[in-house]
Structure 1
Amino acid sequence: MNGSLPAFPFAALIDQQPLQQALLIAAVDPGIGGVLVSGPRGTAKSTAARALAELLPEGQLVTLPLGASEERLIGTLDLEAVLRDGAVKFSPGLLAQAHRGVLYVDEINLLPDTLVDALLDAAASGVNTVERDGVSHSHDARFVLVGTMNPEEGELRPQLLDRFGLMVELENCFDPQVRQRIVKARLAFDLDPHGFRRAYAAQQSDIVQQVGAARNALPELSFDDAVHEHVSRLCIDAAVDGLRADLVMLRAARALAALDGAEAVTVAHVEQVATSVLLHRRHAGDVRSEADAASQETATRSTGKQTGSGQPDSSNAKPDGSTRDWGYLPPEPAGIANVKSVIPLAAKKR
């Protein structure tokens, strides 16, 4: 972990089940595209992100500061070395440092769009590519992206919102008993951080093993027609743009099934992830019935306001001059069982 202060244990977070679930799903399958956490100040957004890093193989937490340049984020190429020595000299940036860990971006809504583009592209693909004047260098950048924002300070553009895999919206707590539990836990941690962490050591170890086992089991899990049909219905009812929501929902449900140690992805897993997938993609004028809406909202405790989702930018041109398909959700192997064939009959007869 970066820094000398110990992190508040992930297992000790109180009344944060939707956030913990979303973060663990992203830890199992970072290619989902990261987690956007929206909420007012003092709702444990940064605490949860730091706690998550401890659960990953290298325990690496990298923070992107406000005001960071694009080169600081993606790295730099020494073009003079290419001309002089014929070899690419690459100086890694924060994306390289975050490999296999957590890249935490506070107030992500205040970053320039070009930086958010680069963050989301690397988070989804697991690869960072730097291109300058016809010279390029790529390296692995498989990390869990956790972006936080206070909606009072401005929103992300719909095109960027859609590219976050999951979103959780936190609210101020007005339950006296829950507030007291949270405050008491924080005071106990501040008084004796190491003793507090020892009390949760066994639970922390269990979560680490759970995440590791889920990552290993991920490629073997399958989903059938019933799961596909339910995902399609939820996305259509939410009037989302495109098919990104469908793909993310399937992958999130699969990651949750892996965390549960299930043998296959079920409709119940879909229900548990639906809100975090649709929260930032749902159109205000969706076509759901009131009964469907009530059922959807009780499936998880993370609720929030509806926001529109726009179509991706029409131009592929990027600030670095590349024409890569930024925002593309890369293919991911997944078991598919009992799925009806979509191959036209004419093609089958050939």
Structure 2
Amino acid sequence: MSVPYPFSAIVGQQEMKLAILIAAIEPAIGGVLVLGDRGTGKSTAVRGLAALLPTMRAVRGCAYHCDPAGRMICSDCARLRPARVERVPVPVVDLPLGASEDRVVGALDLERALGQGIKAFEPGLLARANRGFLYIDEVNLLEDHLVDLLIDVAASGENVVEREGLSVRHPARFVLVGSGNPEEGELRPQLLDRFGLSVEVRTPTAIAERVEIVKRRDAYERDPEAFASRFAREDAAVRRRIERGRTRLAELAVPDAVLERAARLCQAVGSDGLRGELTLMRAARAAAALDGAEHVTDAHLRQVAAPALRHRLRRNPLDETGSADRIERAIGELFEPA
């Protein structure tokens, strides 16, 4: 098994790393979209996340690694209660662009059907991703029929397969993480709206930063194990922050004053619907939990405002500034003292 590039070894790209950590603490955030130039560490950051995540409790032998204490479980686990429990890694599953629908949703197990004459279900990528992360590189190039499928499953948290005499229903709750280069095509609005946070990454301009990135990448390619060991302590510290953040999340309440500020900000920038406010609230609370803060403050709100709102703004033909600039301008007007 190849050694992933350590998350802590990624130079810069603070907004992207924060968004990924927030999604690890609060899955209800709705996923993370990372758009930007090629070669800026988008897929590296996501794949490095797998090594950071704490293990989770699951029903032993379950193909969907159901939560033994969860409400949404598969039919097999429902019959097994009380079930034997094991700790398993949180799945981080890649969905290739060329994947067939059968590979994604699951299909008839042909080996058992032909060899034993038994109609059995072979779980797909959505089953493997349950309670974890589903990663799609070049998500803006994903075929339309798979986009429709993902939208349905993301909304319901359940995968339903009815084909070839099979009728299967199983939990499929995952954090959707997508990356891509916007120059190669835009994302469909229906799928874009499903992402909680949207991050923009750009090629670094500082010479010292570029040199450090090249040096680290070269060291990793020469000896991945030795390079990973250099950052093992930093990655372990990040893992502890995630664990503590998950514990603190339930204890943190968002004050009404912060909620009102979030609503005013969404109104000021013209955010569509109310998902902006919900995402701001959840992201600010997760950022506070990650910091170990006692309360959610305006500072946390400002920290997550751009990734939570930039993909929800209506286009204004009279305003040529980017969405992030519009958000920063609105923040300056709302948060700074009159």
CA distance in 1, matches of 2:294, 2:166: 46
C-alpha spacing 1:220/1:5, structure 2 compared with 1 (3 Å): same
**Shift in Å at residue 31 of structure 1?**
2.3
Q: Which runs of 5+ in 2 are unaligned?
A: 56-88, 113-117, 332-338
Residues 267-298 of structure 1 show CA distances to partners (whole Å, capped at 9, x for unaligned) of 2111111100111111222999x9x9769439
Matched, 1:252 2:283: yes
Q: Counterparts of 1:137-148 in structure 2 under 5 Å? A: 137-148=168-179
The correspondence for 2:34, drawn from 37, 43, 49, is 37
Q: TM-score, normalising length from structure 2?
A: 0.77
3-state secondary structure, aligned to 1:245: helix
Residues 35-54 of structure 1 show CA distances to partners (whole Å, capped at 9, x for unaligned) of 11111211111111100111
**Shift in Å at residue 88 of structure 1?**
8.3
The correspondence for 1:223, drawn from 232, 241, 254, is 254
3-state secondary structure, aligned to 1:130: strand
> 8 Å contact 2:310–2:324 — kept in the other structure?
no
Residues 85-139 of structure 1 show CA distances to partners (whole Å, capped at 9, x for unaligned) of xx98432110111234332111111112332243345456544333559975333
Q: Which runs of 5+ in 1 are unaligned?
A: 82-86, 301-350
Alignment RMSD: 3.0
Q: What letter is aligned with 1:200?
A: F
C-alpha spacing 1:183/1:230, structure 2 compared with 1 (3 Å): same
Matched, 1:190 2:221: yes
Q: Which residue of 1 aligns with 2:274?
A: 243
**Shift in Å at residue 155 of structure 1?**
0.3
Q: TM-score, normalising length from structure 1?
A: 0.74
Matched, 1:23 2:54: no
CA distance in 2, matches of 1:286, 1:153: 23
> 8 Å contact 2:97–2:143 — kept in the other structure?
no
Q: Counterparts of 1:113-132 in structure 2 under 5 Å? A: 113-123=144-154, 126-131=157-162
The correspondence for 2:304, drawn from 245, 261, 273, is 273
The correspondence for 1:72, drawn from 83, 103, 111, is 103
CA distance in 2, matches of 1:126, 1:213: 26
3-state secondary structure, aligned to 2:284: helix
3-state secondary structure, aligned to 2:130: coil
> 8 Å contact 1:240–1:281 — kept in the other structure?
yes
Q: Which residue of 2 aligns with 1:8?
A: 5
Matched, 1:282 2:279: no
CA distance in 1, matches of 2:304, 2:209: 24
**Shift in Å at residue 17 of structure 1?**
0.7
- Structure 1 residue runs of 4+, over 6 Å off? none
Identity %: 53
Q: Structure 1 stretch 121-130 or stretch 13-22: which is displaced more?
A: 121-130
> 8 Å contact 1:31–1:123 — kept in the other structure?
no
C-alpha spacing 1:125/1:17, structure 2 compared with 1 (3 Å): farther
C-alpha spacing 1:67/1:215, structure 2 compared with 1 (3 Å): same
